[in-house]
Structure 1
């Protein structure tokens, strides 16, 4: 792996460092449309020997778990393979961050209680990632998720999301910014600040539309609908429902929220701001 590769964020996404890399461009196009298996297959040959590709493949498969509540064994196998390949603290920290996120998602979707593993892995990632790592903003965001949804620590979640937002801004990571805007907006909504919530949800939607992050647009539309008056709220929910149907019921938890009779999923927790 080259030094330039080691300085990249793990999850293949949009950005200037993708433009000279046809595989990463293709992976982004596939994952942005919910084609995670195809994206993982593109990364599979290099993932046998290259830590960066193995970590990227893991991240793609963990993302599938979050959007579909399925594919847990594939993600776990990919993660173990990546952990066997990593060679430096940056890579070890990135692998630990993925383990923490997978454990978080498994706990949230009630597949298995792995809350202690999630906290431990994210703490290990924080200890391993060097200052200035491009993966630190993502780590802060994921620690915010654990604080918000597993520990129910609103103050800790707010602090973590704020750090992640600042890091994503500094790194020019527009996709991560769409997530931080969304979660900061969710917390503003819970605190009774609808104007701030509306602004954050609108920014998240704008970024996802500009990036072409198709699988993330329906959740952004639905979240914005919850803080908009009628008739805009109904229009936004209808558009979200159309996109979910177009993508074959993804995200699964949003499909259940928008079409509960058509997509029952008793094993999935009540829909929340997951993505």
Structure 2
């Protein structure tokens, strides 16, 4: 089920094109007896919620299964990390305030995951999201993103690096450091293009547009809007803010996991 297996490649193709339900269905036969399959299936359905603000019951069911079949602390910690992300997304997308649940779940994940566990960098990134968007403590967020970036870099996790670049750049932009922000957003977009992470390209383009002068900013927004239309209005939280992308979903934004 690794990324270089036929199943892993099929999962990536579907995930990167916003076909999370189809990807999760490929793992359905394995999930009840394989903790990693159950975790992967839950992560796909949580990510669907983040991008579409829909599918919450299915994600909850998948998380309960992942929690039930987990056999070691790394698996339990990864499941807790996904539960924290689901609660965070519900909060920032205005579905329901689950801030306390998000903090508790990520705290549990931190207690379960060893310092050098494979899921530690993703946990650091998600703790940064909470610090930035729920606690409004940008310095704590920056420290968490930097830990996540270092961990992702050491493991060659280029997709997570694209997220950490984007959020570090976002903090720089808030502080008026436009050159630093432009560099980070450009790196995030470059990685997503190299990986073929189609569903993540529109947010990267839109972020870069915020720190580019005209007419480049307009060109980037138009390209982001084209990609959102191509994917049927996904991410929904971005569709309302781009020219010609359609009107769908809440105004608030969540980050991809």
1:90 paired to 2:90: no
Once residues 115 and 11 of structure 2 are traced to their aligned partners in structure 1, the CA distance between those partners, rounded to angstroms, is 28
Once residues 54 and 260 of structure 1 are traced to their aligned partners in structure 2, the CA distance between those partners, rounded to angstroms, is 38
Is 125-134 or 242-251 further displaced after alignment?
Answer: 125-134
Q: What is the CA distance between 1:65 and its match in structure 2?
A: 0.4
Once residues 189 and 246 of structure 2 are traced to their aligned partners in structure 1, the CA distance between those partners, rounded to angstroms, is 26
Q: What is the CA distance between 1:130 and its match in structure 2?
A: 1.5
Gap runs ≥5 in structure 2? none
Contact 2:225/2:245 (8 A) holds in 1: no
Q: Give the match for residue 3 of structure 2.
A: 18
Q: What is the CA distance between 1:129 and its match in structure 2?
A: 0.6
* Correspondences of 1:229-240 after superposition (within 5 Å): 229-240=213-224
Partner of 1:237: helix, strand, or coil?
helix
Which string of whole-angstrom CA distances, capped at 9 and with x for unpartnered residues, describes residues 234-275 of structure 1? 11111111111000000001101114894154xx2434x623
Contact 2:42/2:63 (8 A) holds in 1: yes
Once residues 256 and 63 of structure 1 are traced to their aligned partners in structure 2, the CA distance between those partners, rounded to angstroms, is 19
Once residues 92 and 83 of structure 1 are traced to their aligned partners in structure 2, the CA distance between those partners, rounded to angstroms, is 6
Contact 1:108/1:269 (8 A) holds in 2: no
Contact 2:94/2:252 (8 A) holds in 1: no
1:133 paired to 2:133: no
Once residues 240 and 110 of structure 1 are traced to their aligned partners in structure 2, the CA distance between those partners, rounded to angstroms, is 23
Match of 1:69 among 53, 56, 72: 53
Number of equivalent positions: 256
Question: Normalization by structure 2: what TM-score?
Answer: 0.96
CA RMSD of aligned residues (A): 1.4
1:162 paired to 2:143: no
1:100 paired to 2:84: yes
Once residues 22 and 261 of structure 1 are traced to their aligned partners in structure 2, the CA distance between those partners, rounded to angstroms, is 34
Q: Give the match for residue 202 of structure 2.
A: 218
Q: What is the CA distance between 1:25 and its match in structure 2?
A: 1.2
Partner of 1:46: helix, strand, or coil?
coil
Q: What is the CA distance between 1:164 and its match in structure 2?
A: 0.3
Partner of 2:176: helix, strand, or coil?
coil
Gap runs ≥5 in structure 1? 6-16
1:274 paired to 2:252: no
Partner of 1:162: helix, strand, or coil?
helix
Check 1:59–1:213 CA distance in 2 against 1; reply closer, same or farther (3 A cut). Answer: same
Q: Give the match for residue 177 of structure 1.
A: 161
* Correspondences of 1:40-55 after superposition (within 5 Å): 40-55=24-39
Once residues 220 and 238 of structure 1 are traced to their aligned partners in structure 2, the CA distance between those partners, rounded to angstroms, is 13
Which string of whole-angstrom CA distances, capped at 9 and with x for unpartnered residues, describes residues 167-200 of structure 1? 0001100000000000000000001100000000
